[in-house]
């Protein structure tokens, strides 16, 4: 959503429709999916689509600030992807949070506690917009 050129979809949508982002354990380089037959059998991604749709391979469409988060129990691939988007869009990357005892399926639990570092960082991010 931070890479989308919103006015392509509707003329009256502002370029900065998305004001900020919290990127959690995401896939920002879709190339590995092409090599995972159990996933790509349904998606049928081509190299051209991967290059066009991978956020880490395209510029951020506008200067929305964002933070990244990844669980410490995630695979090395999720850690690589997290670092990749932070580096690719570094001018707007405010913070990276590695969450202890968390994986891809449990990372959202951080929002259940207002004392959690991810919750606090998100609250701080929202206050800037």
Domain residue spans of the chain: 6-26+60-127
Backbone angles phi, psi at 94, to 5 degrees: -90, -35
Residues 54-91 have pLDDT tens digits of 999 999 999 999 999 999 999 999 999 999 999 999 99
pTM here is: 0.89
How many distinct helices (H) and strands (E) make up the chain?
Answer: 5, 3
List all residues 6 or more positions away from 59 whose beta carbon is below 8 Å from its beta carbon: 3, 89
């Amino acid at each position: 959503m931070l890479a989308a050129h919103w006015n392509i979809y509707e003329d009256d949508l502002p370029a900065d429709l998305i004001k900020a982002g919290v990127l959690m354990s995401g896939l920002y380089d879709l190339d590995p999916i092409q090599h995972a037959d159990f996933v790509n059998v349904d998606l049928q991604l081509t190299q051209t689509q991967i290059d066009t749709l991978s956020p880490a391979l395209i510029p951020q469409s506008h200067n929305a600030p964002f933070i990244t988060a990844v669980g410490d129990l995630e695979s090395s691939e999720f850690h690589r992807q997290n670092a990749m988007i932070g580096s690719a869009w570094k001018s707007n990357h405010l913070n990276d949070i590695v969450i202890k005892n968390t994986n891809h399926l449990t990372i959202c639990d951080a929002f259940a506690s207002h004392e959690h570092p991810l919750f606090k960082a998100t609250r701080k991010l929202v206050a800037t917009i």
